[in-house]
Chain A
Amino acid sequence: MAQNHHHGANPYVIWVWLVVLLAAGFIAFAFHLSTMAAVLILFSLAIVKAGLVVRHYMHMYDQPVALYAIAGIPVLLMIFMVVSLLPDIAFHSIPPVPAAEAPPH
């Protein structure tokens, strides 16, 4: 089983990419971008870096489907949780309570 297990990309090449992306993120940081731009650029870079590590170093390019489910479902759950907490924790937008003295018709 493991003999015909092909090894994917050269780990040194992946490492070079990781370092290049790290440097790119740091350069973006040095430019003092606006918050929105910084978040977008830095997180795209982080996701690419994480993707490289997961795909090549953690061998996720070649695994049984079950393993993708084990790794992917928690990520989806986490995203769902954070998104549903946005209105409560991040934005605190409690709708105004209707005035008590306004009587119905």
Chain B
Amino acid sequence: MSMQAHAESPAHHFDHPEPTTFLRKYVFSVDHKVIGKQYLGIGVFMAVAGGLMAYLIRWQLAWPETPVPGFGWVPEPYMYEGAIPPEFYNSMVTMHGTIMVFFAAMPILLGAFGNFLLPIMVGAPDMAFPRLNMMSVWTLGVASLVLIASFFMPGGAAAHGWTGYAPLSAKAAYTGVDWGGTLWILALALEFASFLMGGVNFLVTAINMRAPGMSLMRLPLLVWMQLTAAVLFMLSVGPLVAAAIMLLLDRTLGTGFFLPERGGDPLLWQHLFWFFGHPEVYVILLPGFGIVMEILPVFARKPIFGYRSIVWSTIAAGALSFIVWAHHMFVSGIDARLATPFSITTILISVPFAIIMFAMIATLWGGSIVLTTPMLFALGVIATFLIGGVTGIFLGSAAVDIYLHDTYFVLAHFHYTLFPSVILAGLGGLYFWWPKMTGRMLNETLGKIHFWLTFIAFNCVFLPLFLVGVGGHHRRIYDPYQYDFLKPFQPVHEFATMAAIVLILSQLLLLVNVVMSLMSGEKAPANPWGANTLEWQTDSPPPHGNFKTVPTVYRDPYDYSVPGAALDFLPQTHP
């Protein structure tokens, strides 16, 4: 039995030697830091693709059926000399949602930041299962390829909306897309498999591989939020996997699980989808918040306000997220007796998030705030998520939702929750941890210009859409102006589209900044921001195995400006 006990010690699980060949080091790497960067590469690539689709969608909404600048080269039948036909518009809407949620947000927030930071933050040399980790990133790569391949199938990519509502998605004839829809299901299934493997790794690493002294209540909040997100994903995705199998058989074998004329039930798909779909929102949101939680105390030079209440709020929000899903279905013909309980739980879930928001603001209160680029992004998250969260309370009550459902109000609402948590927090995290990832600093001035352009342009795109939505403008309409009552909204759409173009173009500043940093950036010290968590107590970038000796943790992660201390920060390794 001693043999077996040895086999399960952390030393056994970190048995991979430092790789020497290029292939082993950068391609088939089992090092969590390299895998994190691979996730980042996949996520950013897919985010660019999703962003260009957003550009196409926005152009069509502002100037329907006119050639989209820069897209004249796309062959028929996808586009006609740059103009978007309705089928392609449907594909764009579907793929924009699918890509942004599953192939950009999750790889960047969970895959990249989670993989890179979680082991270092808990003081571990690597993930618990390094080879499983490699398999998960490669599965995601294959999933991305399958999704991209679906564009080149006869009929194009899936066109049934990112929620894949049946029966539209259950029969190829309904959308005119045959293989595209089937490959869409396969790509999602592979993506789920990838993040299930990743989730197992996150949970076991954060629970079993903590450095001596790293008790649960000393974990950085990012680790807590990544952990909660991993649990939510692993426990919610099952029913959707079952539903996806059923949908796949409906499409390929001709079963009738979701086809009413065959005795199936389309509502069942919606229930199973949203049972996953709502926790999924928090799978994306919580890691984004985790990044903000790490940035705020560092640049406010203050301990985080209410660490324990944030931890318990995170867990409570995660638990509640499993019992709110039917609020996506108030107009789907669900039983009226379900609507009220789900309204109540939905509004209840705003309580833990309100606590988290208050804790963020209270952390800033009386702090010595340093407005660096990461801090600006973190503050941007607070400002914009507030709007997204508050509009969510409107939509949570069934009576209001029945009017606003599927309008641009809903669209603006979820872009106001997901854009801050994915793009703003993701960019903030990138500016914050870039020195740690690459060993080079980014340019602050460029970063600040990038922030302001992104922040202002984002608000210009989506704030007007709330008004359009309350005006009764439904989403997913190919040409809104075929309806007389929507014609007055055209100037608003034109404004939003121009802002969207600015938003996309302003991301080029990041590209310039990153290239400059890699070519000639200032060398980053180990702890450029004066931060306490463990990743800043090792080299930039961290060596193979992360730490030269196993760190011992003596204190909380946010001991800033401790009275009587020599420095205004006390690292977790400080006795």
Question: Which A residues lie at the B interface, using CB under 8 A?
Answer: 1-3, 66, 73-74, 77, 80-81, 84-85, 87-89, 93-95
A91 to chain B: closest residue by CB: B335
**CA separation between A80 and B45, bound complex, in Å?**
39
**What distance in Å separates the Cβ of B343 from its nearest Cβ neighbour in chain A?**
14
Contacts of A93 in B (CB 8 A): 335
**Does B212 count as interface, using CB distance less than 8 angstroms?**
no
Cβ-defined contact, B267 with A74, below 8 A: no
**CA separation between A2 and B7, bound complex, in Å?**
13
Answer whether A89 and B268 are a contact pair too, CB < 8 Å, given A66-B207, A73-B235, A80-B323.
Answer: yes
**CA separation between A2 and B4, bound complex, in Å?**
9
**Does B565 count as interface, using CB distance less than 8 angstroms?**
no
**CA separation between A94 and B333, bound complex, in Å?**
8
**Does B40 count as interface, using CB distance less than 8 angstroms?**
no
Cβ-defined contact, B336 with A80, below 8 A: no
B275 to chain A: closest residue by CB: A81
**What distance in Å separates the Cβ of A56 from its nearest Cβ neighbour in chain B?**
20
**CA separation between A73 and B336, bound complex, in Å?**
28
Cβ-defined contact, A89 with B271, below 8 A: yes
Contacts of B323 in A (CB 8 A): 80, 84
Top 6 A-B pairs ranked by shortest CB distance? A87-B335, A2-B1, A88-B335, A3-B1, A95-B336, A88-B334
**What distance in Å separates the Cβ of B134 from its nearest Cβ neighbour in chain A?**
24
A90 to chain B: closest residue by CB: B265
Answer whether A74 and B238 are a contact pair too, CB < 8 Å, given A85-B271, A88-B335.
Answer: yes
Cβ-defined contact, B267 with A88, below 8 A: yes
**CA separation between A73 and B5, bound complex, in Å?**
28
**CA separation between A95 and B338, bound complex, in Å?**
12
**CA separation between A87 and B338, bound complex, in Å?**
8
**CA separation between A76 and B334, bound complex, in Å?**
23
**Does B53 count as interface, using CB distance less than 8 angstroms?**
no
Contacts of A73 in B (CB 8 A): 235
Which of B1, B275, B338 has a CB less than 8 Å from the CB of A88? B338
Which B328-372 residues sit within 8 Å CB-CB of chain A?
333-338
Contacts of A1 in B (CB 8 A): 1, 5
Contacts of B85 in A (CB 8 A): none
Answer whether A81 and B239 are a contact pair too, CB < 8 Å, given A1-B5, A2-B4, A88-B271.
Answer: yes
**What distance in Å separates the Cβ of B480 from its nearest Cβ neighbour in chain A?**
29
**CA separation between A89 and B239, bound complex, in Å?**
15
User: 27 A-B contacts, Cβ less than 8 Å apart?
Assistant: A1-B5, A2-B5, A66-B207, A73-B235, A74-B238, A77-B235, A80-B323, A81-B271, A84-B323, A84-B326, A84-B338, A85-B268, A85-B271, A87-B335, A87-B337, A87-B338, A88-B271, A88-B338, A89-B265, A89-B267, A89-B268, A89-B271, A94-B333, A94-B335, A94-B336, A95-B335, A95-B336
**Does B129 count as interface, using CB distance less than 8 angstroms?**
no
Contact with A along B210-225 (1 / 0, CB 8 A): 0000000000000000
Contacts of A3 in B (CB 8 A): 1
Contacts of B271 in A (CB 8 A): 81, 85, 88-89
A93 to chain B: closest residue by CB: B335
B332 to chain A: closest residue by CB: A88
Interface hub of A2, A80, A84 (most chain B Cβ within 10 A): A84
**CA separation between A3 and B271, bound complex, in Å?**
47
**What distance in Å separates the Cβ of B122 from its nearest Cβ neighbour in chain A?**
16
Contacts of B334 in A (CB 8 A): 88
A2 to chain B: closest residue by CB: B1
Contacts of B268 in A (CB 8 A): 85, 89
Contacts of B322 in A (CB 8 A): 77, 80
Contacts of A66 in B (CB 8 A): 207
Contacts of A95 in B (CB 8 A): 335-336
Interface hub of A87, A88, A94 (most chain B Cβ within 10 A): A88
Which B247-293 residues sit within 8 Å CB-CB of chain A?
265, 267-268, 271, 275
Contacts of A87 in B (CB 8 A): 335, 337-338
**What distance in Å separates the Cβ of B121 from its nearest Cβ neighbour in chain A?**
20
**What distance in Å separates the Cβ of A85 from its nearest Cβ neighbour in chain B?**
5
Interface hub of B323, B335, B338 (most chain A Cβ within 10 A): B335
**CA separation between A50 and B472, bound complex, in Å?**
53
Contacts of B267 in A (CB 8 A): 88-89
Contacts of A89 in B (CB 8 A): 265, 267-268, 271
Q: A1-B1, A89-B268 are in contact. List 14 more A-B contacts (CB 8 A).
A: A2-B1, A74-B238, A84-B323, A84-B326, A85-B268, A85-B271, A87-B338, A88-B267, A88-B271, A88-B334, A89-B267, A94-B333, A95-B335, A95-B336
Contacts of A80 in B (CB 8 A): 322-323
**CA separation between A2 and B3, bound complex, in Å?**
11
**CA separation between A59 and B268, bound complex, in Å?**
36
**CA separation between A41 and B268, bound complex, in Å?**
28
Contacts of B5 in A (CB 8 A): 1-2
Contacts of A84 in B (CB 8 A): 323, 326, 338
**What distance in Å separates the Cβ of A17 from its nearest Cβ neighbour in chain B?**
29
**CA separation between A8 and B335, bound complex, in Å?**
48
**CA separation between A87 and B329, bound complex, in Å?**
14
**What distance in Å separates the Cβ of B320 from its nearest Cβ neighbour in chain A?**
12
**What distance in Å separates the Cβ of A62 from its nearest Cβ neighbour in chain B?**
15
A74 to chain B: closest residue by CB: B235
**CA separation between A85 and B338, bound complex, in Å?**
9
**CA separation between A94 and B268, bound complex, in Å?**
15
Which B1-55 residues sit within 8 Å CB-CB of chain A?
1, 4-5
**CA separation between A16 and B482, bound complex, in Å?**
72
**CA separation between A103 and B543, bound complex, in Å?**
77
**What distance in Å separates the Cβ of B202 from its nearest Cβ neighbour in chain A?**
14
**What distance in Å separates the Cβ of A49 from its nearest Cβ neighbour in chain B?**
22
**What distance in Å separates the Cβ of A55 from its nearest Cβ neighbour in chain B?**
22
Contacts of B336 in A (CB 8 A): 94-95
**CA separation between A66 and B338, bound complex, in Å?**
32
B270 to chain A: closest residue by CB: A88
**CA separation between A74 and B237, bound complex, in Å?**
11
Contacts of B239 in A (CB 8 A): 81
Contacts of B4 in A (CB 8 A): 2
Contacts of B1 in A (CB 8 A): 1-3
Contacts of A2 in B (CB 8 A): 1, 4-5
